[in-house]
Amino acid sequence: MGRSTPIEPLNRPLADGVVAVRSRRASDLPAIEAASHDPETLRWLDDTPMEPADRGTSLSRVEEAWRTGRAAPLVVADATTDEPVGIINLQFRDDAVATVAYSVFPAHRGRGIAPRAVQLLAGWALDGLGLTQLLLEAAEDNTASVRVAEKCGFERIASRVEPRAEGPHTMLVFACTKG
Ligand SMILES: CC(C)(COP(=O)(O)OP(=O)(O)OC[C@H]1O[C@@H](n2cnc3c(N)ncnc32)[C@H](O)[C@@H]1OP(=O)(O)O)[C@@H](O)C(=O)NCCC(=O)NCCS
């Protein structure tokens, strides 16, 4: 899993006047850490909650993900204030395909931030990085995330049932393909 070459750092934010998608900074870490304990985020994402002790290594792990071509972890920020309002991440399968994953911090949900961020990231991935397909996976009962996929024009291409402690879980796979 991953790209055969490293990814060029994102030197300038991707922005649409409302939302910016940019590199992560040390000053973002307290907000990222607080949101990582949000029950909705824990319910739908596999990420381990972040503790204060993780702050020291967090940015070096981000840098390692970019350098090795494994992933591009980014922040979603308010385009006016630069305040972090969420996180978004591209996980590369290979040189052509990546999966997008995202979370908007609880206080900022319901304002169309995730669809804007996904569209900015999709433009960069497909036009800038030359990927041919972006995948987005959401649990069938994660209505908010399924709506994000639909509002961004992703098409449902597959589903799979995953075993979970609380019972089988259906994951929907959406795709946005260049061309
Ligand atoms: C999924 C998520 C990223 C959506 O981000 P967002 O910026 O709130 O997205 P939108 O504002 O476009 O809202 C999407 C849907 O969320 C629901 N919603 C609306 N207001 C909401 C609120 N205050 N809180 C939660 N969900 C809300 C609606 O179903 C909305 O769809 P609609 O526009 O058709 O009404 C966000 O809810 C989140 O971070 N959830 C927890 C983590 C997660 O599930 N990540 C995705 C894993 S695949």
Summarize pLDDT for 18-77 with one digit per residue, the tens: 999 999 999 999 999 999 999 999 999 888 899 988 888 999 999 999 999 999 999 999
What CATH number has the domain bearing residue 107? 3.40.630.30
Write down the pTM of the prediction.
0.96
List the one residue out of 74, 103, 68, 70 whose CA is nearest residue 12: 74
Query: What residue's CA is closest to ligand 1, atom 28?
Result: 144
What is the domain count for the chain? 1
Smallest CA separation from ligand 1 atom 45, residue: 103
Q: How confident is the model at residue 86 (pLDDT cuts 50, 70, 90)?
A: very high
CB of 57 closer than 6 angstroms to any ligand 1 atom: no
Structural domain contains residue 41? yes
**HSE-up (13 A, CA, CB side) for residue 178:** 16
Question: Best mutation site among 88, 109, 170, 172 for ligand 1, i.e. most ligand atoms within 8 A of its Cβ?
Answer: 109
Q: From the CB of 142, is ligand 1 less than 6 Å away? A: yes
Q: Name the phi and psi angles at 143, rounded to 5.
A: -55, -45
Please indicate, yes or no, if residue 54 is contained in any of the structural domains. yes
128-142 pLDDT, tens per residue? 999 999 999 999 999
Give the phi and the psi of residue 123 in degrees, each rounded to 5.
-60, -45
Query: Does some domain include residue 6?
Result: no
Average pLDDT, the chain: 95
In a domain, 9, yes or no: no
Residue 7 maps to a domain: no
**What is the amino acid identity at position 142?**
N
| Residue 152: domain span | 14-177
pLDDT(109) > 80: yes
Residue 91 lies in a domain: yes
* Ligand 1 atom showing the smallest separation from residue 136 Cα: 48
User: Other CB atoms closer than 10 Å to residue 171's CB: what's the count?
Assistant: 14
Residue of 106 and 162 predicted with greater confidence: 106
Contact 177, 133 (CB under 8 A): yes
pLDDT of residue 9: 83
